[in-house]
Amino acid sequence: MHLVPIAPFLHEIQIGARLRFGVRGQDGSLLLAKGFIVESQRIQDSLVNRGVFVDMDEFAEEASAVEVIPPTPLETFISTWGRLHDHMDGFLRAAPSTQVDPLRIMECVSHVISLCDSSRDLLLFLILRHDQTRYKDYGVFHSLHVAATCGLIARRLKWSEDDRHSLVGAALTMNMAMTELQGQLAMEGQAPTDEQRAHIHRHPRESAVRLRQIGITDGKWLAAVEQHHETSTGSGYPLQMKTPTEMSQVLRYIDMFIAKLSARATRLAELPNVAARQLFTQNHGDPLAAVVIKEFGIYPPGCYVKLASGELAIVTRGGAHAHTPVVAALTNADGHTLEEPSRRDTSEPQHAIEEIIGENLVFIRPAWSRLHALSFGHSDCPVADMSRVAI
């Protein structure tokens, strides 16, 4: 690796165009991958002011070269998920007068997309099994979970990478103007006051204004943020518009679904199957809502289930069919905790899934590393190299 300052390559950086090379830190860690879109002059200036570098060896490679990506240990995947939350916390809770580096937001968007392309099962598991008692952090967790789901849904819909980037960016930042309020409401568990309702009603537009001030110029991203509470019936807010963008509606459905899966101080999280049924019926079977439901599936990774054998198990990844996921038994038929989780074949009648069990009825919390090794047969996570995107 031969690192040189980015200054000589500034002529290669065109507003609205993709980078032809990766942008790296002084230690060689990749901050922005090749293909990242530089959206504004402010982002371009940030690249210069932060003292970043270009790898001359990479720059000299042919554009058609295929990168060989080694597998990443499970611990690395999970630790990067945690760091992503910490960095989001920084810009989502920043005071309006605080200068937020737009490049930091772009790095988080790239990072989320890399996670989505690494392991869908692990992402869904982390969404369902996150610490539901951290109510104060609800707003940050919610945005992260919605963004990760958006990355998966955009891939399922076969959207372009530009649109996928816009959707994930919108999900990360849709609630910039009310992140603290989200945490307060989750902790209080009470109906919002009139003042809080007014804050909620105006947050889509205020969040978009904040993004423009920061230097985000992506029109689809901004429109999705402004319209993520609008509906085609005109009953949404704040504009009561009847022609919201498709991207804003995908974001709205995912926002609603993820919210149902999260607990508050005064209510439990909905079971995935209940949340799916509610989303589908409340939106009259809208095809976009159906896509969200299909991505999670009948038994998403992270949900607890009761088997025909009487055992309690947890779903760890998808199986050959939607109704036969890979599970790990946590108890025997008598309800006694097993010394070690044991893999079960849910396609066999004696181990078929009978029902989903709520987290409040489960008092066993095995380490994911043990479950993962049991499901995949090794301790390393079969995902892409997450060191490609350092935040």
Rounded to two decimals, the pTM is 0.81
Where does the pLDDT of residue 186 fall: very low under 50, low under 70, confident under 90, or very high at 90 and above?
Answer: very high
**Distance, CA of 6 to CA of 32 (rounded, Å):** 13
pLDDT at position 11: 60
pLDDT at position 12: 66
pLDDT tens per residue, range 291-303: 999 999 999 999 9
**Distance, CA of 331 to CA of 270 (rounded, Å):** 23
Structurally, at CATH architecture level, domain 73-296 sits in Orthogonal Bundle (1.10)
pLDDT at position 277: 93
> For 147-151, 220-224, 230-234, 365-369, which range has the lowest pLDDT when averaged over its residues?
365-369
What is the number of alpha carbons within 13 Å of residue 293 lying toward its C-beta? 19
What is the number of alpha carbons within 13 Å of residue 137 lying toward its C-beta? 15
| pLDDT exceeds cutoff 50 at 331 | yes
**Distance, CA of 154 to CA of 146 (rounded, Å):** 12
> For 93-97, 142-146, 273-277, which range has the lowest pLDDT when averaged over its residues?
93-97
pLDDT at position 60: 58
Q: Which two tokens stand for residue 215?
A: 């230097």
pLDDT at position 337: 93
Contacts of 312 (CB under 8 A, 6+ apart): 304, 305, 306, 329, 330, 331, 335, 357, 362, 364
Arithmetic mean of pLDDT over the chain: 86
pLDDT tens per residue, range 257-267: 999 999 998 89
Where does the pLDDT of residue 389 fall: very low under 50, low under 70, confident under 90, or very high at 90 and above?
Answer: very low
pLDDT tens per residue, range 71-123: 456 777 788 788 899 999 999 999 888 889 898 899 899 889 988 988 899 99
Range(s) within the chain of domains with CATH label 1.10.3210.10: 73-296
The interaxial angle of helices 74-92 and 102-116, nearest 10 deg, is: 150
| pLDDT exceeds cutoff 60 at 7 | yes
| pLDDT exceeds cutoff 90 at 274 | yes
Dihedral over alpha carbons 287, 111, 369, 264 (to 10 degrees): -60
| pLDDT exceeds cutoff 80 at 377 | no
What is the DSSP secondary-structure string of 316-355? EE--SSTT--EEEEEE-TTSPEEEEEEEEETTSGGG-EEE
- For residues 62 and 305, the model is more confident at 305
